[in-house]
Amino acid sequence: MYSVFPKYRRIFTIIFLTIMISTTLSMANTPKKGLATLTIEGRIKDEINIPSFLHTPDKTLSGLLKLIDRAKKDKNIEGIVLKLKSPLMGLAKTLEIRNALKSFKKSGKHIYIYSETLSKRDYLLASISDKLYISPQGSVDISGIALELVFLKSTFKLLGINPNFIQIGNYKSASEPYTRDNSSKYQKESIKNLLSGLFNEYVQIIAEARGLSNASVKKLIDIGYFNSSQSLKTNLVNGIAYEDSFDELVGKQGTILNDYFYPKTSKPEKLPLWQLMALMQNQPIKGVNKEKIAIVYMNGSIISGKSTKSLLSDDDSIGSDDFIQIFKSLKNDKYVKGVIIRINSPGGSALASDILWRSITQLSKVKTVVASLSDVAASGGYYIAMACPTIIANPATITGSIGVVGGKFNFKGLYNKIGIKKEIYKMGKYADVFSDYRDFTSNEKKIIHKQMLETYKVFVSKSAASRNMSYEKMHQIAQGKIYTGSQAYQLKLVDHLGGLNYSISYIRKKLGDHNEKLEIISYPKRKTLMQLISARLLLKQQLINEFKQIKTPVEPIINHLGNVQRIFANERIATLSPFFINY
């Protein structure tokens, strides 16, 4: 008997430990009637590709939406006490969380929000509250929306770098920061149109939430900044208090359930026993054999090959190879009945975008497929979205930018300044056309322009076909123009306005899943615990968190140039959006 036991000792130990962990995670008091507490802080992503017990659900959009929905449906929950700790997320994600809170509020429940101070973006979220409090030394910023463009032509000239870029589409301005000292008239028109749409959305939300007219809100915006007493006087907030005093005030409204969302203090996400066993044994988490809906999260710049992740930033990439495999597996999975492709991308490689478009098109022939657009789905991001029969965008999603840009940088002047010399030997007239040691010749520019024009025509043709438009009509809408989700809806570039929850409800209805029996699973699949440890990703995550504390004035420029470098490392033509907007 003893000689047999060692053979199964590992299995018995794993089962024993798994049962102990599962029991510990399951130990939670039955919730009493009262107010659930929730804190939103840090960078909020659509989804995080690590095991759920290694991160808290309030770090993801999908997790936050689930928490709010859970509280909405729970008869014991009378309201939510929400604390905002300067969360980092785009406008579309902010509005998705706000809409979830709005639905919670419509169910007859209350929302109490506290923030020491409120930025423009934070205030849009906080304005949904029944009672909104800030710190005595806090302030409210509703100064409007601004977009800052950086032009590097003179800097490059000083360094001896000569950008060689060509664009197809008058409004396709992704290369203008490198080739000009100011915006072209087309870019100015595009930016004004985009900001106008976002501003109108901004004004309407605040007006509706605080019971003010649009005209009154615009007057407040022109004042811009309000200290705590001014914020209270103008009805932007309902009260002023330190956080402990706010807790006491809210405590009078009902029992505070601090452990409702997170039993104990470790804040684990409860996992079934079989999932814990899978994680410990280095087996991928898989749903049981039941019908399901898959959500594929595509976040970052689009590149050919494998997806990459920067250790020093939150920049992800959408590698065509990885996602093609995901779409193939979903296509062949008989249990997957529908797919939501969640896109948050400014674009990237034209080649990779087209390959992904093809893969999604093939998937949509056998599955019900819906595109759900997050903060941005522009250029290549829209290219992959148009492969889906149905496109759903948030009103604030930055989308469109149907156009093409391509080129290279000539570093010869810089090389000369630092003593680097190059000699080029070639066999073939155009063998060195993309050398970084010379400019394009006029004839080369014509050849490249012709190639890019063909890419643009394909982009427009596919967009027109997917939207049931003529090429001529789509060409008028395209040319690199950028739109808000609301503007895109009016132009029929998207089919519906809504967020992730709306997309899930839509596809359930489409599939006839009225009782919500279909399980929701997400891709890329979460890594197992053993994979994380072997890859030392936990240590890497710590490194990322440390470097996040280091901020420089040129960080946005470095990040943007980093994206451009990754895309043009192996590609010559890109479908790339020209800028990002920070709120």
Please give the Cα distance from 391 to 385 (Å, whole number): 7
SS3 272: coil
Please give the Cα distance from 451 to 446 (Å, whole number): 9
Q: DSSP letter at 116?
A: S
Report residue 49 CA to chain centroid gap: 14
- The model's pTM is 0.78
Q: Averaged over 486-497, what is the pLDDT?
A: 96
Q: Averaged over 494-503, what is the pLDDT?
A: 96
Banded pLDDT at 546 (limits 50, 70, 90): very low
What's the confidence (pLDDT) of residue 10?
60
What's the confidence (pLDDT) of residue 540?
54
Cα dihedral: 114, 115, 120, 123 (round 10): 0
Read off the pLDDT of residues 269-292 as tens digits, 9 standing for 90 and up: 444 554 545 444 444 444 556 899
Could you tell me if 350 and 574 are in contact, meaning their C-beta atoms sit under 8 angstroms apart?
yes
Higher local confidence (pLDDT), 439 or 576: 439
Banded pLDDT at 88 (limits 50, 70, 90): confident
Please give the Cα distance from 439 to 444 (Å, whole number): 10
What's the confidence (pLDDT) of residue 526?
63
**How far from each other are the two terminal CA atoms of the chain, in whole angstroms?**
68
Cis previous bond, 524, omega within 30: yes
Angle at 118 between CA 117 and CA 119, to 5 degrees: 130
Average pLDDT of the chain?
82
Q: Which two tokens stand for residue 14?
A: 């794993």
What's the confidence (pLDDT) of residue 305?
86
Cα dihedral: 518, 523, 528, 529 (round 10): -100
Could you tell me if 57 and 63 are in contact, meaning their C-beta atoms sit under 8 angstroms apart?
yes
Query: Which residues lie below 8 Å from residue 268, measured CB to CB, with a gap of 6+?
Result: 25, 53, 262
Please give the Cα distance from 128 to 110 (Å, whole number): 10
Please give the Cα distance from 57 to 268 (Å, whole number): 9
Q: Kindly write down the DSSP assignment for every residue of 121-177, as one continuous string.
A: HHHHHHTT-SEEEE-TT-EEE-----------HHHHHHHT-EEEEEEESTT--TTHH
DSSP bridge partners of 341: 296, 371
Please give the Cα distance from 300 to 345 (Å, whole number): 5
Max CA distance (Å), the chain: 85
Banded pLDDT at 267 (limits 50, 70, 90): very low
Q: At 124, give phi and psi (nearest 5°).
A: -60, -40
Read off the pLDDT of residues 305-325 as tens digits, 9 standing for 90 and up: 887 765 444 557 899 999 999
62 C-beta neighbours (distance < 10 Å), count: 21
Please give the Cα distance from 52 to 129 (Å, whole number): 29
Instruction: Give the rounded percent of residues in the chain with a pLDDT score beyond 90.
Output: 51
What's the confidence (pLDDT) of residue 57?
52
What's the confidence (pLDDT) of residue 434?
86
Please give the Cα distance from 579 to 396 (Å, whole number): 15
Strands 398-400 and 482-483: antiparallel
Read off the pLDDT of residues 130-165 as tens digits, 9 standing for 90 and up: 999 999 999 999 998 888 788 888 988 888 999 998
Please give the Cα distance from 185 to 193 (Å, whole number): 12
Which CB contacts under 8 angstroms, 24+ apart, belong to 461-469? 462/357, 462/383, 462/386, 463/382, 463/386, 463/402, 463/493, 466/386, 466/387, 467/386, 467/492, 467/493
Banded pLDDT at 32 (limits 50, 70, 90): confident
What's the confidence (pLDDT) of residue 575?
62
Please give the Cα distance from 188 to 254 (Å, whole number): 52
Please give the Cα distance from 206 to 485 (Å, whole number): 19
Higher local confidence (pLDDT), 123 or 425: 123
256: left (phi over 0), alpha (psi -120 to 50) or beta: beta
Identify which of 48, 50, 45 has the alpha carbon closest to the alpha carbon of residue 526.
Answer: 50
Q: Averaged over 487-504, what is the pLDDT?
A: 96
Q: Which of 414-418, 513-517, 559-563 has the lowest mean pLDDT?
A: 559-563
The highest-confidence range among 262-271, 346-355, 483-492, by mean pLDDT, is 483-492
Instruction: Give residue for tokens 């940088």.
Output: 409
